[in-house]
Structure 1
Amino acid sequence: MKCAHNFQRWWVIAGLLVGLLSGPALGQHTPADPMPALPPLREIALDSIQVAPQTVDISGWLLLDKDIEEELSGAVHNLYDFKFNKADKQFRSLRRRYPQHPMAYFLLSLSTWWKMMPNNVADNRYDKVFLAYTDTAITKAAALYKADEHNYEACFFLAGAYGMQARLHAERHDWRKATVASRRALNFLQKSQEANGLSSEFLFGQGLFNYYSVWIGAEYTWLRPILFFFPKGSRERGLAQLREVSQTAFYTGTEAKFFLVNILSSARENQAEAAFELTRQLNADFPDNSYFELEYAKLCFRQGRLKETEQACRSVLQKYGVGQVGYEAYIGRAAAYMLGYLMEQRYHDPAKAKDYYQRCVVYSEQAGMTKRGYYIFAETRLARLAVNERDAPTARRYYSAVLEQSDSGEAEYKEARTWLRTHPQ
């Protein structure tokens, strides 16, 4: 099942990665429907082709309009700082003045996407609104492209909107729609690369694809025959493009930074310090973005920056406690677990540690995340604390929960099974 799941996920990954301005990594779900059979894509290359700006008519391109950029600077900042009402108000104002242009609809779809992020995109309350905005962005951009096939701004929005739709359809296990949207996104991504010399905004999707297509081939060798029909990527070029976007692009710069955090902190790149600096910058720039704040806390935790970890986790839980936008149970569970660990290991206060671990368990249950991760870790820690206190009934309760919820191959499962076998009732 796991192998089949990975096959389906990575078949649609091409379109998902080129979903300009898309969010963090895919959730891990079991697909409900098989992947449809499709003819292979024709082989194309995603090189850094550039056109001379004077050869392209950019009149009417809002993406390159500096006045529009200045006007929307506050709105884009508000979007990433989870001030969605303020951001959407400005995006709707743009829509009223440019009703036939895709930009406002695309930005509204991006805002809607980030509203899903605090629950790892598992929250489907926004699906219809999100798809309505992306559909309209596609319709408006398609009309511009039909009028002028050299309208690379239209290609940018078509690639982005189709990519984001592919991402959502994959999350919802609609593999047919995900695949169709993926291939359309890739088609327009190829066309938009001809405008690389006009703006670094056009490099974002290409940077993602260049980097991840190589990584997928390296990590999943059995997918190489399929990847043969996709564009040839370049890890170095992908990283360089994402770094350029992160430093120079207005609309896609923040997304590039966030993807770079995930890339640089991975075992593949092993550049934890560089990832930490980017995360610290994101958290400083957008202190009310729960995702950025939690990622900052996690990297602090991994690097042993315990004081910063504690401050960030307490901030997350305080905002969650008052119901601040974006601070959901999914976010709270990780912060509670890290604070529990600090109480246990740094402050040697088992009572406070148990309190935070129990919060983690409750938040995980509220978020529907009881099959892996922090829920399993917290239950195991609680069981160990009970063992240390010679409270066998409590230890048995927690270890039984671990045995029921965890995978048989996990260390926590084996620990729980061993203890329960050696301590029968």
Structure 2
Amino acid sequence: MLLGFAALPAAARPKSILDDEQFRTELRQGLDRLYDMDYDGANAAFVEIDKRYPDHPVGPFLRSLHPWWEILVDPDDDVHDDAFLGSMSEVIKRCDRRLRRDPQDLDGMFFKAGALAFRGRLYTDRKSWLRAALDGRKALQLLEEVRKQDPENPDLLLGIGLFDYLADVAPHQYPVLKPFTRFFPQGSRQRGLAEIAQAVEKGHFVQAEAAFCLVQINYIFERDFATSLHYARWLRDRYPDNAVFHVYEGRALAQLNLWPDEHQDLLDVLTRQSEGKPGYRGDVIQQALYVLGRDDVRWRQFGEAVPVLSRLEGLPTRSSADQEYKAYGRLYRAMALDALGRRDEAVYWYNRALSARPPSQVRDKARDYLRSPYPG
């Protein structure tokens, strides 16, 4: 969430909406509610801001955050894409009007950069690589222009750090992105990590977003699960009702083999789903069920694993990732049934695991255990 120009006193830097103390207060309150998944409270705060600044890009930018977090909860569901993209288009239109009047308008450049960066992120998730690259390049150019005007602003370090990190790391992780590296200056993994960490430490309005970036980066790319857990807990301390932060905490605990904490954490995720808590649905629940069921088997809690993996099987299959979760879930379910002495049921689920072009690891293990039962 690239928001904030509060690093310098208002007299020392170009005028921005964040010179308004009432705006700052309402923004912090709205963001805190958003990150804690109190969408009604967040939207109420954002509507008041939009009413006060009807021509400013901040209004539609803030309105986009609710659908954005709905997307983060369940990335395979595109039902919120149109609302999000519509708000981003309105942000860009309002920014362009300001920039036609004044090409150096600070808020016009800043919010346009934010809108392009967020839109590019969604295009990346939807594998629209060229659109993502074009938006990313424009966003980075605008952020650099903003930094020239406001060089001491720590909130800018989030966006700049992300570009630095991903320009270096992403092409190696995803070869399909290599043709697009020509759109960007050379990145630096270490510099990017340091810049994002500074945004967490010194930022005014981007701390939570920067911390979440470090949760994901350290989990997905760096495989540094202790650091991922550190930032997940930092976020959970501040936003205990955020389902995405919650399940990442459980996943990091699992990677660190901290079984009792992981078990309790993921059971709590499922309890909150049954209570209808906002955000506890979709991909969050799929991840929780899969990790909990898998590790119930690994820790020989076979009786607990079977109903958990049964719930995983009951979730809809919408993507190749869902299919992979299902394949592994069927394998672990069969293994648990084998260990419980329920061989006929186990054979059924081994065959189900083999029925849908599973990953090679699933295929090999299922065939092995069809020949000789999993001993437990």
The two structures have a TM-score, normalised by structure 2, of 0.87
Identify the residue that residue 165 of structure 1 maps to in structure 2. 119
Cα distance in 1 for partners of 2:122, 2:217 equals 21
| Range moving further from structure 2, 134-143 or 76-85 | 134-143
Compared with structure 1, are the counterparts of its residues 185 and 95 closer, same or farther at alpha carbon in structure 2 (3 Å cutoff)? same
Q: Unaligned stretches of 5+ in structure 2?
A: none
* Residue equivalent to 2:356: 405
Equivalent residue for 1:130? 84
Show the 5 A alignment for 1:21-420. Answer: 56-58=13-15, 61-120=16-75, 122-174=76-128, 177-219=131-173, 226-266=180-220, 268=222, 270-341=223-294, 343-346=296-299, 348-363=300-315, 365=317, 370-373=322-325, 375-408=326-359, 410-420=360-370
Structure 1: unaligned runs, 5 residues or longer = 1-18, 22-49
Moved more, 328-337 or 364-373: 364-373
The separation in 2 between residues aligned to 1:317 and 1:260, in whole angstroms, is 25
Cα distance in 1 for residues equivalent to 2:25 and 2:8: 25
Kept after mapping to 1: 8 A contact 2:113/2:139: yes
Q: Could you report, residue by residue, the CA deviation over 1:116-172 in whole angstroms, capped at 9, with x for unpaired residues?
A: 22112x222222221221111111112222222222332121111122223334444
- Give, as a single letter, the amino acid of the residue that structure 2 aligns with 1:210: D
User: Looking at both structures, which has the greater relative contact order when contacts are Cα pairs under 8 Å and sequence separation is at least 6?
Assistant: 1
- In 1, the alpha carbon distance for the partners of 2:196 and 2:163 equals 10
- Report the count of equivalent residues: 370
Instruction: Decide which moves more: 218-227 or 94-103.
Output: 218-227
Q: CA RMSD in A?
A: 3.0
User: Could you tell me whether the CA contact under 8 Å between 2:137 and 2:183 is conserved in 1?
Assistant: no
Conserved? CA contact 1:386–1:392, under 8 Å: yes
Q: CA deviation at 1:387?
A: 2.9
Shift of 1:108: 1.2
Distance in 2 (CA, whole Å) between partners of 1:284 and 1:221 is 37
Q: CA deviation at 1:244?
A: 1.2
Q: Is the 8 A contact 2:243 2:280 kept in 1?
A: yes
Q: 1:176/1:337 Cα in 2 relative to 1: closer, same or farther (>3 Å)?
A: closer
Q: Deviations over 1:362-403 (max 9, x none)?
A: 236489853113x22221111112333454432232122222
Judged with a 3 Å threshold, the aligned counterparts in structure 2 of structure 1 residues 79 and 112 are, in CA distance, closer, same or farther, namely same
Shift of 1:350: 2.4
Q: How far 1:301 sits from its partner (Å)?
A: 1.6
Look up the SS of the partner of 1:200 in the other structure.
Answer: coil
Give 1:412's aligned amino acid.
Answer: V
Which amino acid is the alignment partner of residue 106 of structure 1? F
Question: Conserved in 1, the CA contact under 8 Å of 2:74 and 2:283?
Answer: yes
SS in 2 for 1:372: helix
Letter in 1 for 2:24: E
1:38 matched residue in structure 2 = none
- TM-score normalised to structure 1 length: 0.78
- Higher share in helix: 2
- Secondary structure of 1:214's counterpart equals helix
| CA distance 1:63–1:332, shift in 2 (3 Å) | same
**Counterpart in the other structure of 1:11:** none
SS at 1:204 equivalent: helix
**8 Å contact from structure 1 (residues 51, 195) kept in 2:** no
1:310 CA displacement: 2.0
Post-superposition CA distance 1:312-344 (Å, at most 9, x none):
112111111122111114222222234334544
Comparing 73-82 and 138-147, the one that deviates more: 138-147
> What amino acid does structure 1 have at the position aligned with 2:276?
G
* Residues 54, 183 of structure 1: alpha-carbon distance in 2 compared, 3 angstrom cutoff: same
**Partners of 1:133 and 1:223 in 2: CA distance:** 27
Residue 200 of structure 2 aligns with an amino acid whose one-letter code is S
